[in-house]
Structure 1
Amino acid sequence: MSRTAVNRTLLALVGLVLLAGGALLLAGGLDLNHRWHLGLPADWTVTDPHHPVLDAADRTRWRGDSWWWPVLFAALGVVAALGLWWLLAQLRRGLTHQVTVPDADTGGTPVRLRGDALAAAVTDGAEQIPGVARARVRLVGRAHRPHARIALLLEPGAAPAPVLRALSEGPLDDARRSSGLTALRADARLRVDPGEVDRVR
């Protein structure tokens, strides 16, 4: 299993645990255990709406220490920030920031090509195709096997088939040859008008 898959699995498990804990507290606050006969253990304090989660002794134990509440809120803030950073990192990992291409001049040593530079080159080439008003290209997948996702906005009256042919034989073929990639898979979305979207793979 890849590192990305492990991270997303762990993130999903953490989310499920937090969701289960929140649902349990909500069920206790609304007395759903008795109303809906959920069968939760009666000795769980979180299932009793009349019983606080923390008793008086726990709530007042550190009240006399001035450092307690600042440290507590700071720790919770750090945990929340780390969780948000972790989530955003998983969402960004779908993009290919670098493309690995072999270079015969360096004895087969892999060369790194910026993924956004290659995507920008394909975008510029696609917008030169007759009938294309605007293009947007993203590279996703692995560094040694990138996958182009292309969104094209066609001008009124433009035919999709010639545009796709020109896209494959022009910008995409140029990107394959210039980067040394043996293959560059691409998905193209053509928006012909605001109410119709044709997806071609």
Structure 2
Amino acid sequence: MSRTAVNRTLLALVGLVLLAGGLLLLAGGLDLNHRWHLGLPSDWTVTDPHHAVLDPADRVRWRGDGWWWPSVFAALGVVALLSLWWLLAQLRTGTADRVAVPAAADVPVRLRGGALAQAVADGAEQIPGVSRARVRILGRARRPRARITLTLAPGAAPGPVLHELAAGPLGDARRTTGVSLPAEARVRVESGSVPRVQ
């Protein structure tokens, strides 16, 4: 399962749990269990609008223990930080801002991912039969990969174009930077988008 699929599955599960909890609290607050005869257990305090979620005994049970409230707040803080980290991870585009270029000297050399993408795109658009090329450099600085979308002119054959792409712009980028740069090319034709892996 890919990282995107895992993220979507986890987000869906968290969303369903939060939605179910919210609907349960809403039903209790509006007394929908009695009005609409939902059949929720009557001993659930969340189903009665006149009761708090925690009864008084539960609220004061751990008051005498000095470790209880610090533990609760620490756990909530960890959950909040993990949630924030997860949110920021979802907002990342996956685009590599920098590409680490192997150098003979000890000084690290980094190339802008956008510049490398533009160079490959410019070279791809010079291939006969290609009317437009869009390139994104994804992954990490030390393990970048290219995602290329080619739009072919009418009548152009994808096979020769992909061969020329691998030998030309991609080969030039690999030789110039010294990076293996695996690539995935998507060729747009009239019938849709057909993925091709180089």
**Residue pair 1:24, 1:47 contacting (<8 A) in 2 also:** no
Does the 8 Å contact 1:25/1:46 carry over to 2?
A: no
Alpha-carbon shift at residue 87 of structure 1 (Å): 2.5
Q: What amino acid does structure 1 have at the position aligned with 2:17?
A: A
Percent of aligned positions that are identical: 54
Q: 1:35 to 1:146 in 2, by over 3 A?
A: same
* Residues paired across the two proteins, number: 157
CA-CA distance at 1:36 after TM superposition? 5.8
Distance 1:119 1:32 in 2: 59
Quote the offset at 1:51 in angstroms. 3.9
1:130 — aligned with what?
128
Q: Which among 9, 33, 38 is matched to residue 35 of structure 1?
A: 38
Aligned pairs (5 A) from 1:32-181? 35=38, 42-48=42-48, 50-51=49-50, 87-92=87-92, 94-104=94-104, 106-107=105-106, 109-181=107-179
- Cα–Cα, structure 1 residues 125 and 51, in superposed 2: closer, same or farther, change >3 Å? farther
Mapped pair 1:25 → 2:22: yes
State the Cα deviation string for residues 60-92 of structure 1 (Å, max 9, x = none): xxxxxxxxxxxxxxxxxxxxxxx7896355332
Residue 200 of structure 1 pairs with residue 196 of structure 2: yes
Q: Choose which of 169, 178, 187 in structure 1 pairs with 2:184.
A: 187
Cα distance change, pair 29–96 in 1 and its aligned pair in 2 (3 A):
same
- Separation in structure 2 between the aligned mates of residue 25 and residue 146 of structure 1, nearest angstrom: 42
Q: Specify the alignment match of 1:65 in structure 2.
A: none
**Structure 2 residue matching 1:96: 3-state secondary structure:** coil
Measured in 2, the distance between the counterparts of 1:187 and 1:52 equals: 58
CA distance in 1, matches of 2:39, 2:186: 48
Unaligned runs of 5+ in 1: 55-82
Q: What displacement does 1:144 show?
A: 1.0
Distance 2:52 2:121 in 1: 56
How has the CA–CA distance of structure 1 residues 36 and 169 changed in structure 2, closer, same or farther, with 3 Å as cutoff? farther
TM-score w.r.t. the length of structure 2 is 0.66
Q: 1:156: how far off?
A: 0.5
Give the unaligned 5+ runs of structure 2.
54-82
Deviations 1:106-129 (A, max 9, x none): 24x431111111011111111111
TM-score scaled by length of structure 1: 0.65
Q: Which runs of 4+ in 1 moved over 6 A?
A: 83-86
Report the aligned-residue RMSD: 3.3
Structure 2 counterpart of 1:198, which letter? V
